[in-house]
Amino acid sequence: MSKATDGTLVAAVIQMRSGRDVAANIDAASTLIRQAAAEGATYIQTPEMTNLLERSREELFVKIRAEREDPSVAVFAALAAELQIVLHVGSLAIRTGEDKAANRGFLFGTDGATLARYDKIHMFDVDLPNGESWRESATYQPGEEAIVVPAAGTLIGLGICYDIRFPALFRAQAGAGARVLTAPAAFTRQTGEAHWHVLQRARAIENGAFVVSAAQGGRHEDGRETYGHSLVVAPWGEVIAEVDGDAPGYALAVLDPEKADDARRRIPAIANQRSFTRVGPSGAASRTEAAE
């Protein structure tokens, strides 16, 4: 059993292999959440698309619901209250209109209240070398707000999956005081094998922050393959917890937010950041302001 000391928290990353059955996915997540809580976790994070991984747009819209009607929202809020944990549901597919959805993360407090919502900002619209093609923007409405929320005794910045490739989002959150950054994900196997660990570590190092990222792993019912390797990275860049491989499971780590402060004293990159003017080949100039 992991134990927190004064000023620390025990974080858990839940690794899943979500399929096409919403109820089965809720049950699988709930079982792992309960196991992690029994080992002392007080902040527990699940991966992107906890409730459903469905590549068919038509089938997705048959199964998803508006937030107020979504069964997973109610179950996870109640579970947070029952277990007295901060529960970060990495994301759910939530219907927002007749033909649009949100890739939406939720942070539930120890009383079950919704502390924050975050809609994924950066859409995974890519064509990969192995022939995989993804167009998230065809289904999901991108978010527009970077979220930093006080929870579990610290400030947590919310991100989702592809967001990890956009450093400005996490620098803005760190500049606002976040000492824990997050990127729960359903990373493809191809991109995960190439970039998953280095991206997580880079965001931790450059911001002097913990990065906590639960992941989907394995071959899913809709045919996609995800990388797994749910991670917790410390502010100096070392991996302090990992679910090795792509099987469902969880990993725990004790997070001391003071280590973020120490890393920022040692390398004060946020404090040293300056605005600058970018001059292009034509001589045109534009101003880039430092993140606040």
Residues with a known catalytic role: 48, 120, 161
Checking 92-99 for CB contacts under 8 A at 24+ apart, the result is: 92/49, 92/50, 92/51, 92/52, 93/49, 93/51, 93/52, 93/54, 93/60, 93/64, 94/64, 94/65, 94/66, 94/67, 94/70, 95/61, 95/64, 95/65, 95/66, 96/66, 96/141, 97/141, 99/61
CB of 101 within 8 A of CB of 57? no
Distance of CA 206 to the CA centre of its chain: 18
User: Using an 8 Å Cβ cutoff, are 209 and 232 in contact?
Assistant: no
Residue 172 burial class via C-beta count within 10 angstroms: exposed 0-12, middle 13-18, buried 19 and up: middle
What stretches of 155-257 show up as alpha helix (H) in DSSP? Answer: 167-175, 189-207
Alpha helices in the chain (DSSP H): 22-38, 57-63, 71-83, 167-175, 189-207, 258-266, 269-272
